[in-house]
Homo-oligomer: A and B are copies of this chain.
Amino acid sequence: MGKVVSEYVVVGDVGGTNVRFAVSKDPRRYGGPTKIEHFWKSPNVKYETFSDALDAFLATIDIKPKRAVFALAGPIRNNTVTLTNHSSWQVCGEELAKQFGMDQVDLLNDFAAMARSIPELGLNSDGQGLKTICEGISAPGRPIIVAGPGTGFGFATLIPNENKTWQVLRGEGGHQAFSPTTALEADVYKRLLEKASYVSIESVSAGVGFNQLLETMFEVFGQTPEKLSPATAHERAKLGDKVCDAVCRMRANTVMTAYGNAVLANGAKGGVVAAGGVTTALIDYISAPEALSRFFDRGPMSSYMTDVPIYLITSAEAPLLGAAAY
């Protein structure tokens, strides 16, 4: 039986470990909200190349899409990318289009794709891939921040356009200068500045900076530094360990300060969508009154922050949805 050439777009999401595929009725023809079908997932290492994996997925469906959008973790140039954490896979949109007989194959950054999924998931509606961290009112027509720490710190602003579409403004916001918010944090910061000439939001809150932050916190508390995994440090913090608790609080406070800064910078009264593995791991600290106060207490601008909602993104399918809607 031949395959049906249809108005579907194939979407993919490739991280350092797993590749996910699905199809979506082409939203350029059918309008929103975007829905994905035939979700498929596999470890990258099962396939020698990206096109082998795509081949395996397409063999499972009775649809022959003419268009594809793939979200990938890596710097995309000229519709081509080498994956940041799985460098044996090189992906080229034009080559894939030729190989699979498609009209168009677009590659885009995975964080931008995730950001673009937010309007499809729908704000103000729990249980559809977003969890409320702090209730509020998403102001219609205003920008939304999608950001947060994992290994690094992703950062994007979603901007509604006049014609009811969305633009993703991508940046390197995790590399903005760190701002301490207490005397303890200022002391830790002074020590960090002795070790590295530049200390960013990412280097305090994300995975890449964890070891150095932990070491420095031990020093500031006058203790001999121990090497701990983030998970172990979180467990110890829960059991009352002061150094580990201070590390978790400083990471969470840094995230919340960064979110509030982003809202102020871009007038993002649409709200904040928290993303990233560290955000999820530290959710208890991030939801705590101390961290929330870093978001909301902004001197004369505190009233500006009132009602700005904060959500956590929980949907693993988000980058696929965002790719479909892009």
Residues of B within 8 A of A169 (CB): 143, 157, 159, 169, 266-267
Do B299 and A176 have beta carbons less than 8 Å apart? no
Do A299 and B196 have beta carbons less than 8 Å apart? yes
Contacting residues of chain A (129-185) with chain B, CB-CB under 8 angstroms:
143, 155, 157, 159, 161, 167, 169-173, 175-183
A180-B189, A183-B193, A193-B182 known; A175+B143 contact, CB < 8 A: no
How far does the Cβ of A105 sit from chain B's closest Cβ, in whole Å? 20
Do A157 and B299 have beta carbons less than 8 Å apart? no
Task: Specify which of B171, B179, B190, B298 is in contact with A183 (CB 8 Å cutoff).
Answer: B190
B-contact bits for A285-301, CB 8 A (1 contact / 0 none): 00000000000011111
B-contact bits for A263-276, CB 8 A (1 contact / 0 none): 01111100000000
In the complex, what distance in Å separates the CA atom of A189 from the CA atom of B186? 8
Q: Is A60 an interface residue (CB 8 A)?
A: no
Do A171 and B264 have beta carbons less than 8 Å apart? yes
Q: Is A322 an interface residue (CB 8 A)?
A: no
Do A200 and B299 have beta carbons less than 8 Å apart? yes
> Which chain B residue lies CB-closest to A174?
B264
Do A179 and B178 have beta carbons less than 8 Å apart? yes
Do A266 and B171 have beta carbons less than 8 Å apart? yes
Residues of B within 8 A of A298 (CB): 175, 198, 200
The secondary-structure label for the interface of chain A is mixed
The size class of the interface chain A forms with chain B is: 35 or more
In the complex, what distance in Å separates the CA atom of A173 from the CA atom of B301? 10
Q: Is A304 an interface residue (CB 8 A)?
A: yes
In the complex, what distance in Å separates the CA atom of A196 from the CA atom of B301? 14
Contacting residues of chain A (273-324) with chain B, CB-CB under 8 angstroms:
297-302, 304
A143-B169, A183-B190 known; A175+B266 contact, CB < 8 A: no
Residues of B within 8 A of A172 (CB): 264-265, 267, 301, 304
A190-B186, A298-B198, A299-B203 known; A177+B173 contact, CB < 8 A: no
Task: Specify which of B186, B198, B264 is in contact with A186 (CB 8 Å cutoff).
Answer: B186
Residues of B within 8 A of A167 (CB): 159, 161
Q: Is A262 an interface residue (CB 8 A)?
A: yes
Do B177 and A179 have beta carbons less than 8 Å apart? yes
Task: Specify which of B155, B161, B300 is in contact with A175 (CB 8 Å cutoff).
Answer: B300
Residues of B within 8 A of A183 (CB): 190, 193
In the complex, what distance in Å separates the CA atom of A197 from the CA atom of B200? 22
Do A262 and B261 have beta carbons less than 8 Å apart? no
Residues of B within 8 A of A262 (CB): 265
In the complex, what distance in Å separates the CA atom of A266 from the CA atom of B179? 18
Contacting residues of chain A (187-206) with chain B, CB-CB under 8 angstroms:
189-190, 193, 196-200, 203
Do A260 and B177 have beta carbons less than 8 Å apart? yes
Residues of B within 8 A of A170 (CB): 267
Which residues from chain A sit less than 8 Å from chain B, CB to CB? Answer: 143, 155, 157, 159, 161, 167, 169-173, 175-183, 186, 189-190, 193, 196-200, 203, 257, 260-262, 264-268, 297-302, 304
**Could you name 5 residue pairs across A and B whose Cβ atoms are closer than 8 Å?**
A169-B169, A200-B298, A203-B299, A265-B265, A265-B266
